[in-house]
């Protein structure tokens, strides 16, 4: 599949923005009693268990070319790291605050492109990055004062998922989304299961297992289902629409997270954090707008400089 369908991609990304923070909210509830390693292992094992039968029923395949398999392993490792950092941060931070801090991601990627890859970034976008970082700091500051270093964990989420999105976009059109998620679930289960077997006896924090009660079992199952469906929606959206089109949609996750956090935990961002969230959203949307304007100008310049166009002008 190669043809983009932007509207379908945007609707699927909206679904992701609703389901992802809902799954995070359940992880926040379980984080008080269930070790992080157990949460991650069950979440990815359920992903594999749910999707492998679907692949077989659809007469699909779990086999991948070696290049795609290597990229899928990298994508899975980034996925594990991103979810682990988010689940860990939710033990300490309100849901909306943790997600808002993680939205420093587009600013990090823009600055990496400017100072590491040497890409051209105009002064307006650099200024928007500064404002966006300031907004993120406004969200971090009261949380850091309250809980210390764990308030910085969502920054790790931002780095992991920025790279995760880049890898996903590079392989999304070359593989079926369900097969991709099924293989990712298998790889993640193997990695996390191996880590537990290797280190559980060493009493490593977060790698223990506890017996679960009825409510915890249901919540853990919901995390697996919601996480699987949410990331299927995201993968499908990236398959149907360009990343530049979908990037603004991701900011819908913040109001949904605020609503879910209020309904379940009675949490609302304080005045400083609310200001920071607004600054982060506005700056992020402005950066995306400037990138789209720049891309259109570059495309127009290429068309104008093409030999066929030059010949017609002559």
Give mean pLDDT, residues 79-100: 92
172 vs 228: CA distance, rounded Å: 16
35 vs 32: CA distance, rounded Å: 8
Residue 1 has pLDDT above 50, yes or no: no
What pLDDT score does 314 carry? 46
Residue 310 has pLDDT above 60, yes or no: no
* pLDDT tens digits for range 229-262: 887 888 788 778 776 667 677 778 888 898 999 9
Q: Which two structure tokens, joined as six digits, stand for 75?
A: 């994508």
What pLDDT score does 134 carry? 84
pTM for the structure as a whole: 0.78
Q: Which two structure tokens, joined as six digits, stand for 114?
A: 């400017």
203: left (phi over 0), alpha (psi -120 to 50) or beta: left
HEC assignment per residue over the chain: CCCCCHHHHHHHHHHHHHHHHHHHHHHHHHCCCCCHHHHHHHHHHHHHHHHHHHHHHCCCCCCCCHHHHHHHHHHHHHHHHHHHHHHHHHCCCCHHHHHHHHCCHHHHHHHHHHHCCCCCCCHHHHHHHHHHHHHHHHHHHHHHHHHCHHHHHHHHHHHHHHHHHHHHHHHHHHCCHHHHHHHHHHHHHHHHHHHHHHHHHHCCCCCCCCCCCHHHHHHHHHHHHHHHHHHHHHHHHHHHCCHHHHHHHHHHHHHHHHHHHHHHHCCCCCHHHHHHHHHHHHHHHHHHHHHHHHHHHHHHHHHHCCHHHHHHHC
Which is more confident, 280 or 80? 80
Residue 208 has pLDDT above 80, yes or no: no
With tokens 């990695």, the residue in question is: 191
Among the ranges given (28-37, 145-154, 294-303), the one the predictor scored with the smallest mean pLDDT? 294-303
What pLDDT score does 108 carry? 72
CA 287 to chain centre: 18
What pLDDT score does 313 carry? 52
Residue 86 has pLDDT above 90, yes or no: yes
What pLDDT score does 213 carry? 82
Q: Are 260 and 98 in contact (CB under 8 A)?
A: no
Instruction: Give percent above pLDDT 70 in the chain.
Output: 85
Q: Which two structure tokens, joined as six digits, stand for 220?
A: 């853990």
Q: At CA 77, angle to CA 83 and CA 169, rounded to 5?
A: 90
Residue 116 has pLDDT above 70, yes or no: no
């Amino acid at each position: 599949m190669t043809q983009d369908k932007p509207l379908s991609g945007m609707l699927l990304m909206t679904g992701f923005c609703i389901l992802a923070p809902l799954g995070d909210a359940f992880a926040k509830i379980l984080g008080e009693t269930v070790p992080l390693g157990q949460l991650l292992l069950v979440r990815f094992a359920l992903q594999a268990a749910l999707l492998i039968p679907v692949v077989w029923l659809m007469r699909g395949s779990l086999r991948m070319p070696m290049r795609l398999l290597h990229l899928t392993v990298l994508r899975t490792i980034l996925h594990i790291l991103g979810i682990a950092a988010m689940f860990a941060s939710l033990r300490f931070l309100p849901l909306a605050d943790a997600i808002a801090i993680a939205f420093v991601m587009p600013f990090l990627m823009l600055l990496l492109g400017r100072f590491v890859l040497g890409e051209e970034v105009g002064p307006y976008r650099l200024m928007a990055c500064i404002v966006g970082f300031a907004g993120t700091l406004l969200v971090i500051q009261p949380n850091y004062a309250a809980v210390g270093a764990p308030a910085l964990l969502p920054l790790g989420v931002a780095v992991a998922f920025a790279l995760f999105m880049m890898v996903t976009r590079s392989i999304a059109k070359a593989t079926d989304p369900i097969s991709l998620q099924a293989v990712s679930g298998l790889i993640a289960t193997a990695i996390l299961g191996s880590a537990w077997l290797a280190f559980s006896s060493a009493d490593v924090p977060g790698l223990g297992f506890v017996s679960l009660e009825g409510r915890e079992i249901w919540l853990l199952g919901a995390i697996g289902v919601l996480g699987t469906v949410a990331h299927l929606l995201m993968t499908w959206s990236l398959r149907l629409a360009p990343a530049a089109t979908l990037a603004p949609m991701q900011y819908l996750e913040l109001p949904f997270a605020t609503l879910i956090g209020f309904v379940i935990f009675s949490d609302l961002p304080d005045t400083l954090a609310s200001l920071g969230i607004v600054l982060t959203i506005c700056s992020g949307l402005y950066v995306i707008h400037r990138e789209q304007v720049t891309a259109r100008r570059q495309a127009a310049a290429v068309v104008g400089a093409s030999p066929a166009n030059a010949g017609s002008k002559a």
